[in-house]
Chain A
Amino acid sequence: MAQKAGVSPMTVSRAFKEDASVNKETRHKILKAADELGYVFDSTASNLRSQKSGFVAVTIPSLNNSNFADTVTALSDELAEQNLQPLLGYTNYSLEKEEELIEQFLKRRPEAMVVTGHRHSKRAHRLLEKAKIPVIEMWDQPSSPTAHSVGFSNSAAMRDFTAQLIKLGHTELAFIGGGPDSDTRAQDRRNGFLEAVSDHGLDPSRLINTSSTNLSIRESQDAMAELMAQFKGAKTILCASDLYAFGALSFCQRASIEVPETMAIAGFGAFEIAACACPTITTVDAKPHEIGQKTASLISALRNNPTSDLQSTNTPYQILMRETTNTRF
């Protein structure tokens, strides 16, 4: 490029940095040469030799979710130690939107790309496969991974959780969330629930699909009302998230249904509200902070060893038995 523009490489570098010492005319000449050569201008041009952009692209499904907030906070803190800056894109649970974001980010040459979950559009899969940077899928542990992964199996966790509740005597079970339109982790949780229920030969039919992926507390009250009308025998309600569980709990409180005596409720995610609710909500802590930390460590390892085989890092989860399932049988 320097040859074509008839200047020194140093000047080219300065021109891209918009250094004031390069005059307008020279810069124009260089930019024109760059254009003709098909040189992709991006902020990494400020470091032409090493091609380090200093940022890590991260996509998450929702901003309105303290689990992802925890993960992102831990990830940011750890990346800062590596002098990397995370940049967030949020997909609102849309694969199409995710594809767009992935494309936008890749154009700007991140040092690594972190996406949430294993399911992407076909094109996004292709883009990620061809990206010559570490790609990490977090919050999931797919059975046939196509990228590095950090997380846990949502279905295995929910299967385990359900089995433990059954052991405590909860046998008339129902599930709210994880319908076909909802996000994949919620679907996985529902599958885990169904596996545990059929393992124990119990009734697997009490399922309430929820239409929204990002279910609000208010909508989950409606879901609970629907459940009560449809499945009179249900005694223990498992929910794909604590927010649904909180909605279900507040429905019961308004309808004067005693929790946990008449109805037991469990959530997922160990959100703040589950610990603050009265009674406290039984849930599963997915250790979102640890997912963020381990993702950052994996990025560090992969930057030192870019040709590494696919890595999969398991993160633990913890079942928190609390008051909403403390039913006497």
Chain B
Amino acid sequence: MTASRALRGIEGVSEKKRKEIQSVARKLGYRPNSNARSLATTQSDLIGISIPTLFNNVFSEIIDGMRQTFQQAGYASVIDTTEYDPKAELAWVERMLSWRPAGLILTGTTHSSELQEALKGTKVPIIEIWDTTNTPIDTCVGIDHFSAGQRAADHALSLGYKSPAFVGVPEGRDPRADARLSGVQSRFAQSQPSQSVHIARIMDRNNFVVGHSGTLDLFERANPDIIFYLNDHVAFGGMTACAKLSKSVPDDVGIFGFNSLDLAHVLEPSLTTIRTPRRMMGLTAARNLLARIHGAKTERVTVLPVELVEGQTTRLQQS
């Protein structure tokens, strides 16, 4: 029984004992047949993780946060990239369900109705990450993107910025970014109802290109004093465009990123941004999912806090 628990990675077996048993199993050439087990319990040792893209460090950091927890518990994970395509997400979920996974992790809380239909009635624990909603498919762990946008706007307003702009991708492609923009808009609308947020949207998989082209496009038709970018990489592209236009940051224009990635700290000037708890999110999601797989209840909705990072790309405005 202990051997079985050890090989399945259930808690209650000491790490030392688990290693011993695993090493004996290895020597004997024993391979737990996950398929046989899935016949018995409709559970396997496989966890499916769906993320929108590999072109974004955010998702890899979230998965990094999960990896160790899953590994220690003896679960393997397979990853799918949807490229923000709901059909691809659906096809993947259908394949995963046919494999009777122990659990599924989906990115975001916006899914097609077909997907919601496909998941209805399955008993597989599911966690939606990165975003939060009051009505998750099963459970969710993420941040509140609308409030994150408000948080950024509040900071800009407190510094005295008056003419905001946003650079991102076409509406609907990244629903989380849309929510953050709404947050920014809501705050500026309260404080100065006559001034709307100028928006530039560029379709390109390369974040730097989105930021660079979007910023050039923006300055052709507006003269913002603060630009909120979809994320830090897009902001970096924006900074190169400002340099090209001979606009000094932060003297001529303020720049606001999102995520606080590695890049934000090595840049000169350092980026004002919002730090998202990516590893913590991965860790929390992994722990919750394991708990749910083993039949324990967890919070249905977990909202993690974000943090303002004051860099050198914004400054107090002269009034």
Contact = CB atoms under 8 A, between A and B. Distances in A.
B55 A278 contact: no
A250 B268 contact: yes
Contacts of B154: none
Nearest to B268: A253
B77 interface: yes
Contacts of B263: 217, 273
B174 interface: no
Contacts of A55: 95
Contact of A64 (B61, B76, B243): B61
Given A42-B99, A88-B78, A88-B79, A66 B54 contact: yes
Interface centre among A76, A107, A253 (most CB of B within 10 A): A107
Interface in A79-116: 85, 87-90, 92, 97, 100-101, 103-105, 107-108
A35 B39 contact: yes
Given A40-B33, A42-B35, A250-B268, A216 B98 contact: no
B208 A72 contact: no
A272 B35 contact: no
Given A73-B83, A273-B208, A63 B59 contact: yes
B57 A76 contact: no
Q: Interface size class for chain B?
A: 35 or more
Nearest to A251: B266
Contacts of A87: 78-80, 95
A1 interface: no
A43 B95 contact: yes
Interface centre among A35, A54, A62, A92 (most CB of B within 10 A): A92
Given A42-B99, A69-B53, A272-B206, A63 B78 contact: no
A250 B236 CA distance: 14
Interface in B108-154: none
B298 interface: no
A63 B266 contact: no
A139 interface: no
Contacts of B92: 85
Interface string A67-79: 0110011001000
A100 B268 contact: no
Contacts of A34: 39
Contacts, number: 107
B294 interface: no
A231 interface: no
B204 to A, nearest CB: 11
Contacts of A272: 206-208
Contacts of A253: 268
Contacts of A276: 208, 212, 236-237, 240
Contacts of B54: 63, 65-66, 68-69, 72-73
Nearest to B207: A272
A63 B52 CA distance: 12
A299 B147 CA distance: 47
A101 B70 CA distance: 13
Contacts of A221: 266
3 interchain residue pairs of minimum CB distance: A69-B54, A63-B60, A64-B60
Interface of A: 31, 34-35, 40-43, 46, 54-55, 62-66, 68-69, 72-73, 76, 85, 87-90, 92, 97, 100-101, 103-105, 107-108, 216-218, 221, 246-247, 250, 253-254, 272-273, 275-276, 278
Interface of B: 31, 33-36, 38-39, 45-46, 51, 53-55, 57, 59-61, 63-64, 67, 71, 76-81, 83, 91-92, 95, 98-99, 206-208, 212, 236-237, 240, 243, 262-263, 265-268
7 contacts: A41-B39, A43-B98, A69-B54, A69-B55, A87-B80, A87-B95, A250-B268
